[in-house]
């Protein structure tokens, strides 16, 4: 088995630290105990090689020998297929995990992104009705998640790659207290982020960027 290489920025400002999406892959790789190394790419002067691996100039990307994959969902699926810790082998279990992985990215993260943008760039002036509509859209999705999590510890019964993606999406929503009306969602994030693999992945990312200051 070749060692996986995860490429992220060499440095980012303090604000995004702890949320750059290489964290999702670090977390997954730690949960699965798969060997990996971290490589960096300049955040300021993006190279031709960067755009060859990630056409939008974002991070991270994952390389496995001659294979290069971008987009956190695609990378998560690639890693999950290597470990039954992240995705069961049986067709039903695999289907459940994949469904919830895509739900995290398409149904919940998509709904949160407009609100995230407005929170991050709070100086942007938008009509109140615009913000109200986006808040309502996000809250509707969170209400569904609140119902899903009633009586469940994890989305598919056992911790999986789907929980990494969903918990990471939800913890960013809670950066501006967005989970306050949704106690099950908030408890779910607390359970996920208490896992040793997340704690290590988070500390490693924070140390990585701090070392470049």
**pLDDT tens per residue, range 48-103:** 999 999 999 999 999 999 999 999 999 999 999 999 999 999 999 999 999 999 99
User: What pLDDT score was predicted for residue 121?
Assistant: 67
Tally Cβ neighbours within 10 Å of residue 28. Answer: 28
User: What pLDDT score was predicted for residue 128?
Assistant: 83
User: What pLDDT score was predicted for residue 161?
Assistant: 98
Strand partners, 41: 9
Check pLDDT > 80 for residue 43: yes
CATH superfamily of the 4-85+197-210 domain: Glutaredoxin (3.40.30.10)
Which segments of the chain belong to CATH 1.20.1050.10? 91-195
**pLDDT tens per residue, range 119-173:** 776 677 778 888 889 899 999 999 999 999 999 999 999 999 999 999 999 999 9
Which segments of the chain belong to CATH 3.40.30.10? 4-85+197-210
For domain 91-195, give its CATH number from 1.20.1050.10, 3.50.50.60, 3.40.50.620, 3.65.10.10: 1.20.1050.10
Check pLDDT > 70 for residue 1: no
Mean pLDDT of 7-22: 96
Element (H, E) at 185: helix 183-193
Q: Report the mean per-residue pLDDT for the chain.
A: 95
CA dihedral (28, 202, 102, 118) in degrees, to 10, reads: -170
User: What pLDDT score was predicted for residue 114?
Assistant: 86
Q: What is the 3-state secondary structure (H, E, C) of 22-62?
A: HHHHHHHHHHHCCCEEEEEECCCCCCHHHHHHCCCCCCCEE
Mean pLDDT of 33-53: 96
């Amino acid at each position: 088995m070749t060692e996986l290489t995860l490429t992220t920025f060499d440095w980012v400002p303090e604000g995004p630290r702890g949320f750059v999406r290489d964290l999702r892959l670090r977390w997954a790789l730690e949960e699965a105990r798969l060997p990996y190394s971290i490589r960096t790419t300049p955040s300021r002067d993006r190279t031709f090689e960067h755009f060859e691996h990630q056409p939008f100039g974002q991070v991270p990307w994952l390389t496995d020998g001659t294979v290069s994959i971008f987009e956190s969902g695609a990378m998560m699926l690639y890693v999950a297929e290597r470990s039954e810790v992240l995705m069961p082998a049986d067709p039903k279990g695999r289907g459940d995990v994949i469904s919830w992985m895509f739900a995290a990215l398409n149904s919940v993260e998509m709904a949160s992104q407009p609100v995230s943008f407005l929170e991050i760039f709070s100086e942007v002036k938008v009509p109140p009705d615009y913000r109200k509509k986006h808040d309502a859209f996000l809250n509707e999705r969170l209400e569904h998640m609140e119902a899903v999590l009633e009586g469940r510890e994890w989305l598919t019964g056992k911790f999986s790659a789907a929980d990494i993606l969903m918990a990471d999406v939800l913890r960013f929503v809670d950066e501006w207290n967005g989970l306050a009306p949704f106690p099950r969602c908030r408890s779910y994030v607390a359970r996920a982020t208490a896992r040793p693999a997340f704690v290590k992945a988070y500390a490693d990312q924070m140390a990585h960027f701090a070392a470049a200051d």
